[in-house]
Amino acid sequence: MTGARTNTLATLRGSIERIESHGDAYTPDRVALGHADADATLQGGLAVGAMHEVFAEAGRQSAAATGFVAGLAGRAGARRPLVWVRQDFTEIESGALSMSGLAELGLDPRLMVTVRAADVDTALRTAADALACDALGVVVLEVWGEARQLDLVASRKLTLAAQASGVTGLVLRVAAEPQPSTAETRWIVRAAHSPPGALWSAWGAPVFDAQLVRNRHGPVGRWIMEWKCDECLFEKPAAYPQPVAAAPAHRPYQTPALAGRRFA
């Protein structure tokens, strides 16, 4: 009995070593994000056919992270179908995905399929099945909160499926702490101030405070990245002066009656 147990243990160790050595030797293709500094740190851009993680705090940061993931999907998808897997609980917390909003970001809603999973286990199985389909471009797995099911073993399965099919996997984690995984990169995303838009625009371009905290094949960094909706790429935000309030048009800047007074 002891000999059989020892042989089984040796076999498992050998399998793990082969998987890990295969992962180290794996050199994925890359797609440029458009942001020069981020692409240089990533040695050419985001690795396709690999898994990437994006973390965000709950609240308004979850919306920023969703937009950032949509941008990554737009760059890595190469106009191929996108599958977005979400928990039902996620939709209760942050609302449903807006197809018109994704279209404004430059994605084609006709190439997107959303899947609502009842729980984390179902979401993991659905994402793994989707990653095995080489007809897709990107699979997004959105998980809200701490999920013990999304451990190192589950991460390794998703990574191997992505490597085998060439489909890029993006794991969006909201209100969760990073845990050990086999992800190629890990990002923490926050909202950043948008530059002032044109007079006819009610808001500026999407801008993200993106911190790369894990990079398996290089250094890390932090950048302010602006998403260009028309070009579907990230760029450095253009320098612009801070807006200054205009003087009232109906009266002088400082009326004579108040000119001599001092204000606390």
Placement of tokens 């760059």 in the chain = 75
pLDDT of amino acid 8? 63
- Would you state the CATH architecture of domain 27-193+202-235? 3-Layer(aba) Sandwich (3.40)
Closest of 160, 148, 132 to residue 20, by C-alpha:
160
Pair 185, 169: CB distance under 8 Å: no
pLDDT lower than 50: segments of the chain: 18-19, 21-23, 241-264
What is the residue whose two structure tokens read 């993006």?
Answer: 170
Per-residue model confidence (pLDDT) at position 79: 87
CA distances from 15 to 18, 181, 183 (A): 5, 18, 20
Q: What is the number of other CB atoms lying within 10 angstroms of the CB of residue 195? A: 13
CA 259 centroid distance within chain:
54
Query: In the prediction, which pLDDT does 88 show?
Result: 83
- Taking Cα atoms as reference points, which of 215, 223, 209 lies closest to residue 68? 209
- Cα torsion angle, 168, 169, 174, 180, sign: negative
- Whether 81 contacts 64, CB under 8 Å: no
Residue 238, SS3 per DSSP:
coil
CB 184 within 8 A of CB 28: yes
Residue 54: predicted pLDDT? 97
Contact 31, 76 (CB under 8 A): yes
pTM of the model: 0.79
